Amino acid sequence: MKKYAAETFGTFSLVFAGTGAVIINNVSGGAVTHVGIALTFGLVVLAMIYAVGDVSGAHLNPGVTIAFAVAHRLDWRLAGGYIGSQIVGAIAASLLLRLMFPRDSTLGATLPTGSEMQSFVLEMVLTLVLMFVILSVSTGAKEKGITAGIAIGGVIALEALFAGPISGASMNSARSLAPALVSWNLAHVWLYVAAPIIGACLAVPFCKCVQPTGCCSPASKECQVQ
């Protein structure tokens, strides 16, 4: 239960800070800026990795959880609880933001500015790169890497910086699903649920090819992002 509680709190913090930055940027006339939003997402993930990484692994993302299970680094019996906890935390954050900003129409939901296929491919590739880095820098179940959190948070901020204006740079099904459900903006939510999961799973064979030992090994069943 501690693992599930950590995933709930970590994902709550991610969605509250990240989508909160989007909302506040809208209501303040752009005071946060696109750069500020990208950095907010990267920094909150970095903070949560160091805060709960040694408890649950700080996946904070259904795609990450599924990819770890595919790579035999998380027991499939835990995966459902992880994903459920992530969705609960994300929805709780969006509900709180709805209470705080009742007039906001999207609550920071990710929406494509071009075609759905363009955003689908972009989200898939972005998550593939993110998951490749996660698999490459994550270590044992009870350790906190000193630099791994910086690497992962940095990749999230980097990808949000250049891809955010097109697809929203979600890379996280829970992060997109929660504000879409609470604000009832469901038109494009399918691509933000499917593309990150597909991209994360595709990273597993890529990582295995580049790092054939340790990347996709059952040696640590509860390996975490750190």
Other C-beta atoms within 10 Å of 166: how many? 14
Evaluate whether residue 223 is within a structural domain: no
CA distance 69 to 75: 6
Evaluate whether residue 217 is within a structural domain: no
Task: Note every long-range contact of 145-150, with CB atoms under 8 Å and residues 24 or more positions apart, other chains counting.
Answer: 145/53, 145/226, 148/49, 148/225, 148/226, 149/45, 149/46, 149/49, 149/50, 149/53, 149/226, 150/46
* pLDDT given for residue 168 in this prediction: 93
Evaluate whether residue 64 is within a structural domain: yes
Q: What is the DSSP letter of 107?
A: T
* pLDDT given for residue 137 in this prediction: 86
Considering the entire predicted model, what is its pTM? 0.89
Evaluate whether residue 95 is within a structural domain: yes
Domain that holds residue 175: 2-210
Helix (H, G, I), strand (E, B) or coil at 186: coil
Q: What is the DSSP letter of 76?
A: H
Q: CA nearest 193: which of 42, 83, 71, 80?
A: 83
CATH number of the domain that residue 174 is part of: 1.20.1080.10
Evaluate whether residue 222 is within a structural domain: no
Q: What sign results for the dihedral spanned by CA atoms 176, 28, 36, 9? A: negative
CA distance 110 to 100: 19
What pLDDT, in 10s, does the model give residues 110-126? 999 989 999 999 999 99
Evaluate whether residue 221 is within a structural domain: no
Q: What's the total number of domains in the chain?
A: 1
CA distance 2 to 5: 5
Tell me the mean pLDDT per 10 residues along the chain, length 226: 94 97 95 97 94 89 95 91 96 97 94 94 97 82 62 95 94 96 93 96 88 57 41
Q: Which two tokens stand for residue 162?
A: 């250049």
CA distance 12 to 94: 8
Evaluate whether residue 216 is within a structural domain: no
Evaluate whether residue 215 is within a structural domain: no
